[in-house]
């Protein structure tokens, strides 16, 4: 069997279509020892990206769920909105206040509209969003692509247009988290998950056009069950990639591990959502909380605070407002996530929920995460990261301590990284490395002089 070497198509080249409608270069010509199950369906995108042009960067804000679940009355929401301003969180970039499930009455009203629970929201939703807007913040609401939400309040299935209008136009919200519980029977939907999400995406898009206002930001919440990282950006600006977070080290480690395999999917206008932050909740240690925050920020996840800000410790606020870390999450020039360049404790590409990949890098920054249970010395060669140039040296800045850590030539060692801790480093090009270093290539494989003398 001969296999034609693959050639990368140039950006301007559109692959030619075969008679079946598939690009020719994807067609199998031999008999490989694996099965490719191609769903031969007519590929029609059920709804375009409804909200193009909004949420270029990961959304930052506050969400009620992790701290309060069903106990989210309006005074709690307003209290946290005010604290976002007074604690400096709004200044640091947190500018959404989002209410989650359990705000509604169990039944729609006789006109068919969702009704806010009057005990929890006696002033009504419009008054709530007015108060949030008056603080210079945006407001977010929650619904579900099925008959009910996960706590069995009304979902938006078959009411997408009505609900989009209620949320955006009548109530004044700017953002919608859209869950995936209580899905209708198959003989009703005759759709896949994309079709169900497309219904709301289209309603949002149509409404935006008719109102002449920016669309609701749409945050998809299907917990990674159906690979939303592959298609989520067609419909919304973020998509959950994993199950619900809990305030434990193992939950944080598992989410980092799983997202390490999809980190390529985040970029401007569409982000893997690693779930709301648990910093300040449960028994996360300082080091674990730092790791949690740095991983979420550098992997370009939305950063939604999930703790009661009234009792948040100074340490919690300090972590949440680390501006050098936030600056990377909110980088207006580089939209992509950090990705692992070496797994470390595991062989590369091995999935391990308790010990995720340890060495990560990305454009404009370089970071390592220590998931060991003991303090560790962590060493890496600079050019293990694809973003580092051979033959150059780099100044090193610690993004947590805000200290300058000298100049790295060819490699860097972070000593005594605490258990479950993290070191986040910003490496800046500092010119040519010193002359005369040996070996002449930092990576010696296929290192060769112009006259053909191989070094490796």
By annotation, the residues acting in catalysis are 179, 244
Q: Which stretch binds ligand GAL (CB under 6 A): 27-35, 79-87, 143-151, 342-350?
A: 143-151
> Cβ distance 376 to 370 under 8 Å?
yes
State the nearest-atom distance from the C-beta of 52 to ligand GAL, in Å.
Answer: 25
223 versus 341: smaller Cβ distance to ligand GAL: 223
Q: Which stretch binds ligand GAL (CB under 6 A): 148-156, 185-193, 355-363, 395-403?
A: 148-156
100 versus 278: smaller Cβ distance to ligand GAL: 100
- Three-state SS at 217: strand
Helix (H) / strand (E) containing 326: helix 323-329
**Tokens 């409608």 correspond to what residue?**
21
- Three-state SS at 65: helix
- Nearest one of 125, 132, 135, 140 to 60, comparing CA atoms: 140
- Nearest one of 167, 157, 154 to 204, comparing CA atoms: 167
> Cβ distance 441 to 455 under 8 Å?
yes
65 versus 341: smaller Cβ distance to ligand GAL: 65
Under rule CB under 6 A, residue 405 binds ligand GAL: no
> Considering only residues 74, 160, 174, 179, which one is a binding residue for ligand GAL as defined by CB under 6 A?
179
**Tokens 């989410």 correspond to what residue?**
255
- Alpha-carbon torsion, ordered 166, 177, 63, 118, to 10 deg: 30
Q: Which of residues 221-250 bind ligand GAL (CB under 6 A)?
A: 221, 223, 244
State the nearest-atom distance from the C-beta of 218 to ligand GAL, in Å.
Answer: 14
> Considering only residues 151, 248, 395, 407, which one is a binding residue for ligand GAL as defined by CB under 6 A?
151
> Considering only residues 74, 100, 331, 433, which one is a binding residue for ligand GAL as defined by CB under 6 A?
100
Write out the two tokens for 142. Answer: 């929650």
60 versus 87: smaller Cβ distance to ligand GAL: 60
Under rule CB under 6 A, residue 408 binds ligand GAL: no
**Tokens 């995108």 correspond to what residue?**
45
- Alpha-carbon torsion, ordered 387, 389, 393, 394, to 10 deg: -20
> Cβ distance 181 to 222 under 8 Å?
no
223 versus 380: smaller Cβ distance to ligand GAL: 223
**Residue 172 to residues 73, 79, 374, Cα–Cα distance (Å):** 18, 19, 50
Under rule CB under 6 A, residue 99 binds ligand GAL: no
181 versus 253: smaller Cβ distance to ligand GAL: 181
**Tokens 């400096």 correspond to what residue?**
88
Write out the two tokens for 324. Answer: 């050098």
Under rule CB under 6 A, residue 278 binds ligand GAL: no
Count Cβ neighbours within 10 Å for each residue of 125-147 and write b for 16 or more, e otherwise.
beebbebbeebebbbbbbbbbbb
How far is the C-alpha of 331 from the C-alpha of 334, rounded, in Å? 6
151 versus 381: smaller Cβ distance to ligand GAL: 151
How far is the C-alpha of 342 from the C-alpha of 296, rounded, in Å? 19
State the nearest-atom distance from the C-beta of 292 to ligand GAL, in Å.
Answer: 16
**Tokens 């999917």 correspond to what residue?**
265
State the nearest-atom distance from the C-beta of 281 to ligand GAL, in Å.
Answer: 14
157 versus 223: smaller Cβ distance to ligand GAL: 223
Under rule CB under 6 A, residue 304 binds ligand GAL: no
State the nearest-atom distance from the C-beta of 179 to ligand GAL, in Å.
Answer: 5
State the nearest-atom distance from the C-beta of 70 to ligand GAL, in Å.
Answer: 9
State the nearest-atom distance from the C-beta of 245 to ligand GAL, in Å.
Answer: 8
Under rule CB under 6 A, residue 256 binds ligand GAL: no
Q: Which stretch binds ligand GAL (CB under 6 A): 144-152, 263-271, 318-326, 352-360?
A: 144-152
102 versus 442: smaller Cβ distance to ligand GAL: 102
- Nearest one of 151, 109, 86, 110 to 321, comparing CA atoms: 86
Q: What is the DSSP letter of 264?
A: G
Q: Number of residues interacting with ligand GAL: please give it, by CB under 6 A.
A: 11
- Nearest one of 142, 244, 159, 154 to 196, comparing CA atoms: 159
State the nearest-atom distance from the C-beta of 183 to ligand GAL, in Å.
Answer: 12
Show the binding pattern over residues 39-78: x = contacts ligand GAL (CB under 6 A), - = does not.
Answer: --------------------------x-------------
Pairing mode, strands 392-398 and 403-408 = antiparallel
Q: Which stretch binds ligand GAL (CB under 6 A): 17-25, 83-91, 145-153, 193-201?
A: 145-153
Q: By the criterion CB under 6 A, which residues form the site for ligand GAL?
A: 65, 100-101, 149-151, 179, 181, 221, 223, 244
């Amino acid at each position: 069997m001969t296999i034609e070497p693959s050639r990368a198509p140039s950006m301007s080249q559109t692959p030619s279509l075969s008679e079946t409608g598939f690009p020719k270069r994807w067609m199998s010509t031999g008999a490989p020892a694996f099965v490719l199950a191609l769903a031969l369906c007519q590929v029609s995108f059920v709804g375009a990206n409804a909200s193009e042009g909004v949420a270029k960067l990961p959304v930052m804000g506050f969400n009620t769920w992790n701290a309060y679940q069903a106990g989210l009355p309006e005074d709690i929401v307003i209290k946290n909105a005010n604290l976002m301003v007074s604690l400096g969180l709004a200044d640091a970039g947190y500018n959404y206040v989002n209410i989650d499930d359990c705000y509604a009455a169990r039944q729609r009203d006789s006109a068919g509209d969702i009704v806010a629970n009057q005990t929890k929201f006696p002033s009504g939703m419009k008054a709530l969003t007015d108060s949030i807007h008056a603080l210079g913040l945006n407001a977010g609401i929650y619904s579900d692509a099925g008959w009910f939400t996960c706590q069995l309040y009304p979902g938006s299935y078959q009411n997408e247009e009505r609900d989009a209008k209620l949320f955006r136009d009548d109530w004044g919200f700017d953002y919608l988290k859209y869950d995936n519980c209580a899905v209708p029977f198959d003989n009703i939907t005759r759709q896949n998950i994309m079709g169900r999400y497309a219904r709301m995406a289209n309603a949002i898009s149509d409404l935006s056009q008719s109102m002449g206002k920016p669309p609701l930001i749409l945050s998809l919440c299907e917990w990674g069950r159906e690979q939303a990282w592959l298609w989520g950006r067609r419909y919304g600006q973020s998509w959950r990639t994993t199950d619900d977070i809990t305030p434990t080290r193992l939950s944080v480690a598992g989410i980092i591990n799983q997202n390490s395999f999809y980190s390529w999917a985040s970029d401007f206008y569409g982000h893997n959502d690693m779930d709301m932050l648990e910093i300040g909740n449960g028994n996360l240690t300082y080091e674990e909380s730092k790791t949690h925050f740095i991983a979420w920020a550098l992997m370009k996840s939305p950063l939604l605070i999930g703790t009661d800000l009234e009792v948040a410790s100074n340490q919690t606020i300090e972590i949440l407002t680390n501006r050098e870390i936030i600056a990377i999450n909110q980088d207006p020039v580089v939209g992509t996530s950090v990705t692992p360049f070496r797994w470390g404790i595991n062989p590369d590409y091995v999935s391990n929920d308790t010990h995720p990949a340890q060495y990560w890098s990305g454009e404009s920054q370089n970071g390592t995460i220590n998931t060991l249970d003991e303090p560790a010395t962590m060493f890496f060669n600079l050019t293990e990261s694809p973003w580092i140039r051979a033959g150059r040296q780099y100044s090193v800045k610690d993004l947590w301590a805000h200290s300058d850590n000298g100049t790295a030539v060819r490699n860097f060692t972070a000593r005594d990284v605490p258990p479950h801790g993290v070191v986040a480093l910003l490496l800046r090009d500092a010119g040519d490395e010193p002359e005369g270093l040996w070996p002449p290539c930092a990576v010696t494989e296929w290192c060769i002089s112009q006259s053909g003398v191989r070094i490796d």
